[in-house]
Copies of this chain bind each other. A is one copy, B any other.
């Protein structure tokens, strides 16, 4: 159950056997069925989630009722509404399962305890935060300047596993284009090769 988490953490900081044990006690496993929520808009986000298996997504619903996907999380990714989690204000996003999933959840207080007892996690999450900002910047610049096709190719290059495991209309929503456009782009790309 904890293999992927511990492996991922080990990529950035190295934990002793004892620290690994402490870590294990502070996360709560949770199984999720496809379409099940772990967070809904306007609720308070109580957990940070690590994906051991499956796929989740975070998204908002606008006034017109359209979904806008902010993030996908597959095995080895973290997902939460960071703002709501840290500030304990109502969440701006929904988070649910795209496929059946297995998660490791950690609450606010458990995270504090984790920092306390395994301070290396401070460094770990600091690095994660940096990378998160970096990728947000990249995505923002990309969304401002790339064409739909370029955006799709970027995604395909950087996250081929996401593209292959997530329904196409969600990819479109993530890229900020319509499913029709995405469908046409894919057709063109076939001919090009």
Closest Cβ of chain B to A18, distance in Å, is: 27
CA distance A133 to B83 in the complex (A): 8
A108 contacts chain B at the CB level, 8 A cutoff: no
B140 touches A140 (CB 8 A): yes
For the complex, what is the distance from the CA of A62 to the CA of B142, rounded to whole Å?
11
Residue among A83, A126, A141, A176 with the highest chain B CB neighbour number at 10 A: A141
Q: How many copies does the complex hold?
A: 2
Contact B83 A141 (CB under 8 A): no
Min CB–CB distance A184 → chain B (angstroms): 19
Interface residues of A (CB under 8 A from B): 60, 62, 66, 68, 70, 82-83, 86-87, 92, 126, 129-130, 132-134, 136-137, 139-141, 143-145, 175-176
